[in-house]
Structure 1
Amino acid sequence: MSAPAVLSRREFTVGGLLLAAGLAAGCGGPSGSPAADRTLRIGQYWPPTSLDPAKAGGESQFFLQPAYDPLIVRAADGSYQPGLATAWRYLGTGNTAFEITLRDGVTFSDGSPLTAAGLKASIEHFRKSAGQAAAFLAPIATMTATQPLVLRLTLNQPHPLLPALFTQDYLAGDVISPAGTGAPADLATRTSGAGPYVLLPAETVADDHYTYGPNPKYWNAAGRFYDKITVKVLPNENTALAALKTGQVDVVAGSYAIAGGAKAAGFAIASSPAIVMGLQLNDRAGTLCPPLADVRVRQALNYAVDRAKITAALLGEYGVPVDQPSAPGQDGFSEQPFYTHDPGRARRLLADAGHAGGFALPVVIPSAPGFPGDLAQAIASDLQQVGVTLRITAKEPAAASTALTEFPASTMGWGVLPAYFMGRGLWLKDAIGMNPFHSSDPELESLDRQAAAADGATRPGLDRQIVRRVVELGWFLPVCLSPGLLFYRDTVGVDPVPGKPFPSVAAWHPAGRA
């Protein structure tokens, strides 16, 4: 659903809808009469961290997509389509220069025109902010408006995924108006986009519900399907499911915990195995836990875990066992498992490394109810069978995220991303947030440099080598892909595509109308 400079730990852990993969849509569901006022009502677990796209996290997507059109639209089938940009291209080779051509005649909701100079100011605002996109924009060295609607970016290092970055999935594509970037403090509580809707402050109560009405200046009025959108914060999932059953909301973003109830009630379900869950073995040099310095020990921990059993027990039909930091459909994903469940091999590796008697492994997890603790206990049970004792400490989520250098291991929950993005948040030496001991591997760094400069035909093979190297190093102990889920009434057309991320909220429509 995701952030460090990449995704906040909260988003990694609870999900968000960034780069959700593996959707499977149900059909049918209880009919509610279509709202006479053509209102789409959405229930969402988390309130937005901010309404400023540059400072928002993944859980803010539902609150931003109605009001901000991206430069490039990632369509439901995964293709890239024109949005506020009508054309884009890399210049030359090596992925170090990029050009964006903007749509003519676009006006923001506040009356500001869309121009290359305004886009430059929007990108600069993202770069100065502490949001998830800032690290991904860091390679930009200069931005030049070569024409009123053409912006050229030059980079100080290769960046192969600027088209993906400028879609709705990463927020950086959400262009903020010049009036908005000129008054950045106002962006936290109001919208300044060129999307089909605009926030209605008089009908909004922060942290409770957010109401959006038509943007009268929208450039593509035929692409606006509702008269109003409301997003209601429903932090209790059972309450959210009840609201869906009674018709108070039309769509709910939730978890596997209410999937059974939603399925029994006949609602359509879109499933996205979007979050890689497991443990991070942060202390790869053995500073706090000496056994972790040996790659054989880290590999032994991976062989000891029965991923299929744990996934089935905790996530049922919606989970996918995984032993790699990738997901089906991603360029780096390998169909061949790396680590089979083999306790015997785990014990042999531990013995070869001088730890036949086992050892204790302290781990910090967030104190949120349910999945993080349940997963940690399940992993602990398997590790105990090979002599490794997992000593679990639960801390309030914010405290857990700042304690990564105090514990050799921690809970992990990554939003599924391409290898280039994951490297910058997770495993490169200078990765921000999720590599607290700044572990480094020359082979991994070299592969990353090659992939960053490669063309689209060559990069997938390099991404697979990157993922394989990460898995060989045993820096992580992934267990399963935890799903992001949407439950919705049959009056709404969400149009998910199996194996692809959820479509933008702005693309949802009354059922029967494409």
Structure 2
Amino acid sequence: MSTAVLSRREFTAAGLLLVTGVALGACGGTADTGGTSGTLRIGQFWPPVSLDPAKAGGESLLYLSPAYEPLIYRAPDGGYQPWLAASWRYLGTGNMSFEISLRDGVVFSDGSPLDAEALKASIGHFRQTAGQAAAFLAPIAAIDVTGPLTVRLTMSEPHPRLPALFTQDFLAGNVIGPGGVSHPDQLATQTFGTGPYQLVPEDTVANDHYTYASNPRYWNVRDRHYEKITIKVLPNENTALATLKTGQVDVIAGSYAIADGAKAAGMRIASSPAIVLGIQLNDRDGVLSPPLKDVRVRQALNFAIDRAKITKALLGDYGIPTEQCAAPGEDGYNDTNFYRHDPGKARQLLADAGLPNGFTLPVVIPSTPAYSADIVQAIAAELEQAGVSLKITTRDPATANTELTKFPASIMGWGALPVYFMGRGLWLHDAIGMNPFHSTDPELEQLDRQAAAADDEARPELDRRIIRRVVELGWFLPVCLSPVFLFHQNTVAIDSVAGKPFPSIVSWHPTA
């Protein structure tokens, strides 16, 4: 996510955003729980949508990761490592069958064993619950227990990104114990995972602060770095920074708006270029705004934007200008640009489309955070030079995304994910959430089917072709990649890798 994120209910990032909370008491001291060190105190923008992993999204990752562990661990360098899954593999060709073999000897915090039946029940709970992960699990047609610790998943259609889905980034791999699955109402106030910590309900106040104590049954005690973790909800960035400066917390999440202040205060900064900012041109069939039906118009808007200038003005040295939704170094990224800043070409394309005098384009944005207005106002200034006027309507963040079918364009602010996932959230005909008019393109749909069934050698080129096709269609008006930031005291080490998503909170550790 979560961070330079727009709304906690957006498709954003889903799982790339790690942002965190506050507590009482200081770090320090040594507990007799595997050499752990005091309390890790974190500050986070917003409370979790739910403590049930199956109902949650990227905004809840930080609240879930202390208590729930993934089947597969996505390491800081982007590689995949065994965790609750001892091994995994696709069977046959075409990405239609997937086998998971579990680590032996692991138990949930309530003492029940992690076995194949527990995993089957957990995946079933995710599939039946209307959370972020459910859509990505939809292709699973059958879950079969083939041994005490082995589960086989059979697909109704190719699914090439199950290893990614079962990492900590996408929640579905966070196995929920039978006690939680059989009593789902309790998942809102208790945790039922195998993680190093468990929620302390009596020391937790929903929407304010959350406390996690050591799980006495944890299987990997030597890699648990703290005795306790606390997360405090700090919705105001400036307040969060002041709390960090005064030593009341060890780590906070934030945006570029407080980056300079954190740096000046001597805080350590970790960043990851994860959030694509710009405008979505949702009405690609011209239902509300007839000009948008013409690809020349959508391309004209892209040629009109000086991405480098806007990025420098808003993000300084922290942002990366971009015309695409893939991040450099990640799958799907194209090294050559399709658009350049050319207002003359933009005006010519508009004239060719029968709009020599331009047109007015309504766009809806959330009232907060402030940079939503900043990025749209900057785009508006660029489009004016090509004769296009933005009519900006502001809505409460909680409702902005519920009105996407009432406006031809909206704010764009979501995480750069694997191409397979972005297709299902953003541009395929039946994409969830962010394709409100159900736009479709035969070439794009065909490329997606080919990439879904392809092996790891053939898929990268197909992913690049998918991203390039999205750019050529002009369905979006991306401007820049904004980093996700973590600001922290020098007593905490966050072993991040430049350009990669942040490591899991449970890998953060005291500075040596």
Instruction: Output the TM-score relative to the length of structure 1.
Output: 0.94
1:11, 1:415 within 8 Å by CA — same for their partners in 2? no
Partner of 2:313: 313
1:70, 1:167 within 8 Å by CA — same for their partners in 2? yes
The SS at the match of 1:405 is: helix
What pairs with 1:303-342 in structure 2 (closer than 5 Å)?
A: 303-342=303-342
Partner of 2:7: 10
One-letter code of the match for 1:154?
T
Q: Distance in 2 between matches of 1:376 and 1:251?
A: 30
1:12, 1:275 within 8 Å by CA — same for their partners in 2? no
One-letter code of the match for 1:101?
S
Partner of 1:493: 493
Distance change in 2, residues 1:466/1:15 (3 Å): closer
Q: Distance in 1 between matches of 2:105 and 2:447?
A: 43
The SS at the match of 2:15 is: coil
What pairs with 1:80-479 in structure 2 (closer than 5 Å)?
A: 80-479=80-479
Can you give the 5+ residue segments of structure 1 that lack an aligned partner in the other structure?
3-7, 22-31
Q: Distance in 1 between matches of 2:421 and 2:346?
A: 31
Percent of pairs with identical residues:
68
One-letter code of the match for 2:116?
A
- 2:29 corresponds to which of 25, 32, 36: 36
Q: Distance in 1 between matches of 2:10 and 2:452?
A: 27
Q: Distance in 2 between matches of 1:89 and 1:147?
A: 15
1:108, 1:217 within 8 Å by CA — same for their partners in 2? yes
Q: Distance in 1 between matches of 2:197 and 2:29?
A: 19
Backbone CA RMSD of aligned residues: 1.6
One-letter code of the match for 1:18?
G
1:116, 1:145 within 8 Å by CA — same for their partners in 2? yes
Q: Distance in 1 between matches of 2:352 and 2:282?
A: 22
Q: Distance in 2 between matches of 1:393 and 1:435?
A: 19
Distance change in 2, residues 1:421/1:322 (3 Å): same
- 1:19 corresponds to which of 3, 16, 26: 16
Q: CA deviation at 1:317?
A: 1.4
One-letter code of the match for 1:88?
W
1:61-106 Cα shifts (integer Å, max 9, x gaps): 1111110111001111111111110000000000000000001111
Q: Distance in 2 between matches of 1:20 and 1:206?
A: 21
The SS at the match of 1:360 is: strand
Q: CA deviation at 1:320?
A: 1.0
2:6, 2:368 within 8 Å by CA — same for their partners in 1? no
Q: Distance in 2 between matches of 1:36 and 1:356?
A: 71
Moved more, 449-458 or 363-372: 363-372
Q: Distance in 2 between matches of 1:10 and 1:496?
A: 25
2:284, 2:439 within 8 Å by CA — same for their partners in 1? yes
The SS at the match of 1:404 is: helix
The SS at the match of 1:502 is: coil
Q: CA deviation at 1:359?
A: 0.6
Q: Distance in 2 between matches of 1:12 and 1:282?
A: 18
Q: CA deviation at 1:151?
A: 0.2
The SS at the match of 2:405 is: coil
Q: CA deviation at 1:272?
A: 1.2
1:174-207 Cα shifts (integer Å, max 9, x gaps): 0000111000011011110000000111111111
Q: Distance in 1 between matches of 2:213 and 2:479?
A: 43
Q: Distance in 2 between matches of 1:431 and 1:58?
A: 18
Residue-pair matches, total: 497
Q: Distance in 2 between matches of 1:319 and 1:124?
A: 40
Q: Distance in 1 between matches of 2:124 and 2:292?
A: 41
1:109, 1:215 within 8 Å by CA — same for their partners in 2? yes
Q: Distance in 2 between matches of 1:480 and 1:357?
A: 28
2:429, 2:439 within 8 Å by CA — same for their partners in 1? yes
Distance change in 2, residues 1:245/1:17 (3 Å): farther
1:212-231 Cα shifts (integer Å, max 9, x gaps): 11101111111111111111
1:100, 1:150 within 8 Å by CA — same for their partners in 2? yes
Q: CA deviation at 1:18?
A: 2.5
Q: CA deviation at 1:16?
A: 5.6
1:338-392 Cα shifts (integer Å, max 9, x gaps): 2111101101111111111111111111111411111111111111111011101
1:33, 1:491 within 8 Å by CA — same for their partners in 2? no
Q: CA deviation at 1:399?
A: 2.3
The SS at the match of 2:487 is: strand
The SS at the match of 1:383 is: helix
